[in-house]
Amino acid sequence: MWGCGALLGARTGSRLGREVLVAPGRGWSAAAPYSASAEPTGVRALVYEHHGDPAKVVELKKLELTAMGGSDVHVKMLAAPINPSDINMIQGNYGFLPKLPAVGGNEGVGQVVAVGSSVTGVKPGDWVIPANPGLGTWRTEAVFSEETLIGVPSDIPLQSAATLGVNPCTAYRMLTDFEQLRPGDCVIQNASNSGVGQAVIQIAAALGLRTINVVRDRPDIQKLTDRLKSLGAEHVLTEEQLRKHEMKHLFKDMPQPRLALNCVGGKSSTELLRHLAPGGTMVTYGGMAKQPVIASVSQLIFKDVKLRGFWLSQWKKDHSPAQFKELILTLCRLIGRGQLTAPACSEVPLQDYQRALEASVRPFVSSKQILTMC
């Protein structure tokens, strides 16, 4: 099914590796770390040479595949999503930026084609995902160092594997690292239809937690509400409903949230804080509204709320590769038990990347764009 040629990327977390970019019909030279050490193999990749609007700076180019070393793994990419962090990285306004020129994409799943003589952790046929950001997954194949990959079960759904390494990891860590929640406790979040939001709903349900899920109003709000509830959401509210006085009645039947997860900022985060239990924590992991988080003096003094931030890349820096692998395997077990599914996805062939990029930044699109490498 997936023998149609897929891809992967660079040999380090911050560079394209030793591959050479070749633009169709003309030569293209790049500075180090490239070297023309192999014949063209038909590898295709989505490359950007400058930061800017992804629709303008991302181009489909050809790569030459480097020769393998003893600790290297040759991987064909099967599928790779477009995440908000990917867009931010291309725009040049993310916390980590690969050296240019770079291949887009930080997440995805590939299949091992061949391994070097000293590789012991994976074998041909295995599925692997990136262990680090910046590998550049929007390509058909590449040679990676074994240490930059994590093996995952090949019997989980392809979309689940492709979207495993970022959003579910973020959701799990935020649910478990900031408050000692017990079954029956409540969590409130905004951007609940995002990839992280959908993972929060499912993981929280698996942990026995109750969720209040806030979304922006839209024409198909009932359809979205039904989908989120099918994932395990207890309550789905619009931003406008959250601001109404009647919200107080909600907490007659459930405890006030001890944990709030904020991906929006601005007024939306202020409303989350307003409903947070005394001593509770709001964790900010995104800023879709591009507005600051504002906490009133009374909330800080009289409710003693805590404001924290979370960035998965920093968590990885603070923890060992073995701890990240255990996190991945924990999530794989949830997938295997049917407690965690991929977010709503739309698969788009790599050559139609412009359509996928445009859809990924369009308002109210709840479907994650996944590039397939056929």
Render pLDDT for 315-366 as a digit per residue (tens, 0 to 9). Answer: 999 999 999 999 999 999 999 999 999 998 999 999 999 999 999 888 767 6
CATH of residue 61's domain is 3.90.180.10
User: Is the residue at 138 inside a domain?
Assistant: yes
Q: What is the mean pLDDT of the chain?
A: 88
User: Is the residue at 20 inside a domain?
Assistant: no
User: Is the residue at 250 inside a domain?
Assistant: yes
Q: Active-site residue numbers?
A: 94
User: Is the residue at 221 inside a domain?
Assistant: yes
- Looking at the fold, whether 88 and 160 belong to one and the same domain comes out as yes
Residue 250 in this model has a pLDDT that exceeds 90: no
How many Å apart are CA 158 and CA 109, to the nearest integer? 8
Using pLDDT thresholds of 50, 70 and 90, give the confidence band for residue 42: confident
- Looking at the fold, whether 161 and 172 belong to one and the same domain comes out as no
User: Is the residue at 347 inside a domain?
Assistant: yes
Residue 149 in this model has a pLDDT that exceeds 60: yes
Query: Last residue of a domain, which of 295, 314, 333?
Result: 314
- Looking at the fold, whether 161 and 179 belong to one and the same domain comes out as no
How many Å apart are CA 272 and CA 242, to the nearest integer? 9
Q: In angstroms, what CA-CA distances link 2 with 5, 9, 143, 295, 311?
A: 7, 18, 18, 50, 33
Residue 17 in this model has a pLDDT that exceeds 90: no
pLDDT at 324: 97
Percent of the chain at pLDDT exceeding 90: 78
- Looking at the fold, whether 349 and 302 belong to one and the same domain comes out as no
pLDDT at 19: 45
- Looking at the fold, whether 182 and 308 belong to one and the same domain comes out as yes
- Looking at the fold, whether 177 and 300 belong to one and the same domain comes out as yes
Residue 11 in this model has a pLDDT that exceeds 90: no
pLDDT in tens, 284-293: 999 989 999 9
Residue 35 in this model has a pLDDT that exceeds 90: no
User: Is the residue at 326 inside a domain?
Assistant: no
- Looking at the fold, whether 154 and 55 belong to one and the same domain comes out as yes
pLDDT in tens, 170-192: 999 999 999 999 999 999 999 99
| Domains in the chain, number | 2
How many Å apart are CA 319 and CA 314, to the nearest integer? 9
* DSSP annotation string for 66-91: PPP-TTEEEEEEEEEE--HHHHHHHH
CATH of residue 280's domain is 3.40.50.720
User: Is the residue at 25 inside a domain?
Assistant: no
Threshold 0.85, pTM exceeds: yes
- Looking at the fold, whether 172 and 153 belong to one and the same domain comes out as no
Using pLDDT thresholds of 50, 70 and 90, give the confidence band for residue 215: very high
- Looking at the fold, whether 174 and 139 belong to one and the same domain comes out as no
- Looking at the fold, whether 297 and 193 belong to one and the same domain comes out as yes
- Structural domain boundaries, residue 208: 167-314
pLDDT in tens, 114-138: 999 999 999 999 999 999 889 999 9
- Looking at the fold, whether 207 and 160 belong to one and the same domain comes out as no
* DSSP annotation string for 337-369: TTS--PPSEEEEEGGGHHHHHHHHTSTT--SEE
- Looking at the fold, whether 207 and 281 belong to one and the same domain comes out as yes
pLDDT at 24: 35
Residue 74 in this model has a pLDDT that exceeds 80: yes
Q: In angstroms, what CA-CA distances link 5 with 109, 131, 205, 328?
A: 13, 22, 38, 26
User: Is the residue at 258 inside a domain?
Assistant: yes
How many Å apart are CA 69 and CA 337, to the nearest integer? 38
Using pLDDT thresholds of 50, 70 and 90, give the confidence band for residue 41: low
pLDDT in tens, 84-104: 999 999 999 998 899 999 999
pLDDT at 364: 66
Higher pLDDT, 53 or 7: 53
Q: Which two structure tokens, joined as six digits, stand for 361? A: 């930044």
pLDDT at 1: 37
pLDDT at 252: 84
Q: How many CA atoms within 13 Å lie on the side-chain side of 65?
A: 22
Q: What is the mean pLDDT of residues 264-283?
A: 96
